[in-house]
Amino acid sequence: MAAGSWFDWTTGDLVTEAKFQDIQDSIVFIYASDAAANSALTNKTEGTVYFNTTDDKLKFWDGSAWVELSGVDVFELEFLIIGGGGAGGWSSTSAVEASGGGGAGGYLCKFASETSGGGSVTLNSFYVIPSTNYPVTIGAGGTGATDTFNSSNDGFPSYVGSLYAFGGGGGAKQYPAARRGGSGGGGGPRYSPDGGSNGDGGSAVYGQGSNGGNWTGTAAVAPNAGGGGGGAGATGSNGSSGAGGAGGNGKASSITGSSVTRAGGGGGAGTSSAGAGGSGGGGAGSRGGTPSSGTANTGGGGGGASNTAAAGASGGSGLVILRYPDTYTITVGAGLTSSTSTSGGFSVTEITAGTDTVSWS
């Protein structure tokens, strides 16, 4: 009979030597060390199990050594992932031109009591399996449109494994609507064939950001004004009486050990003035000049332009920050730009550019 085989006992069955040996081989023995187990279990067979009272571990004999019995080794990963910001809207030299600011990149956060973009969404825990490669990319910011018929470009997504932060929506100029994104782009004068308009800001991805502000005014008539791009922490402001709307503010995180605000929306531009960029890297709009780009590695939206032959400003690139127990060592692929610091039992790896994989051991 093989060790550990099941036997249905009934009254009157004899305990033979083979059956007794099977019972003994199936017992979980208790010893303080591998040495003590080896000394006592001189006839152990492959599969014999004992409990080590010193380490509080179950171990089995694999035929040549004691091997720890354990489940899959996993640990919880805390993170901040921000997509690239959307670009602001384009403008010609016309005195009645207006455009929207770019929306901030999507904002995903799992750290302490902090929440993700657009409100109070708390993300589920993400568990990492050591020795497994997780794909990582840092999203670039979108670039501004250069003609009336196109919205500015959305930002590009950032991700770690299945954790995906969308790029921010591009700000509107004229015919196309403001773009949806992690945060939505600001609205612009969207002309229709009958001369009307619908300049609503772009919508945000739930749990990642906020909507863009709306355009206000009458198409091709001053005063009119583009809306500000949405930020991770607030909706972009609507344009008002020729004044471009301000970009929505970003959100603050202390995942690196100090509070930093990121993912602000870009300011919109109007026929009289332009809006400020949202806190956290949003670029300011400009009337008659060059709008400001979103700040790199914040996912900030680019500012919109008006009354000048200028493309909307580019959005800022995204960012990935990973926090994990310092008992694990990260391996970052050569295609990624990163830095790692350790404090208080945790390591924090900040990835600012590139595409590759990460793993832990």
- Dump pLDDT digits (tens) for 143-161: 987 776 666 899 999 999 9
Q: Which domain holds residue 256?
A: 75-361
Q: Is 324 helix (H, G, I), strand (E, B) or coil?
A: strand
Kindly give the residue spans of alpha helices, DSSP state H, lying in the chain.
Answer: 17-26, 34-40
Q: Examine residue 3 and state whether it is found in any structural domain, yes or no.
A: no
83 and 228 both lie in a single domain: yes
61 and 203 both lie in a single domain: no
**Run of H or E residues at 336:** strand 336-343
pLDDT of residue 15: 57
Is 69 a residue whose pLDDT tops 80?
Answer: no
Tokens of 90: 């384009």
Asked whether the whole model's pTM tops 0.85, one would answer no
Q: Examine residue 185 and state whether it is found in any structural domain, yes or no.
A: yes
For residue 230, which of 273, 183, 191 has the smallest C-alpha distance? 183
Provide the β-strand partners of residue 319.
82
Q: Examine residue 268 and state whether it is found in any structural domain, yes or no.
A: yes
pLDDT of residue 184: 96
The CATH number of residue 35's host domain is 3.40.1620
45 and 99 both lie in a single domain: no
127 and 59 both lie in a single domain: no
Residue 132 vs residues 79, 98, 242, 361: alpha-carbon distances, Å = 17, 49, 54, 9
Give the count of beta carbons closer than 10 Å to the beta carbon of residue 230: 47
Q: For 98-116, give one letter per residue: b (16+ CB within 10 A) or e.
A: bbbbbbbbbbbbbbeebbb
Tokens of 93: 């030299």
29 and 88 both lie in a single domain: no
63 and 119 both lie in a single domain: no
Q: Among 10-24, 51-65, 280-294, which is the least confidently predicted range?
A: 10-24
Q: Examine residue 176 and state whether it is found in any structural domain, yes or no.
A: yes
33 and 59 both lie in a single domain: yes
Domain end (from 38, 69, 100):
69
Kindly give the residue spans of alpha helices, DSSP state H, lying in 170-296.
Answer: none
Helices (H) and strands (E) in the chain, counts: 2, 20
Q: How far apart are CA 299 and CA 246, in angstroms?
A: 16
Backbone angles phi, psi at 121, to 5 degrees: -75, 125
Q: How far apart are CA 322 and CA 320, in angstroms?
A: 7
If one counts the domains in the chain, the total is: 2
Per residue in 170-205, pLDDT tens?
Answer: 998 866 778 999 999 999 886 544 444 568 999 999
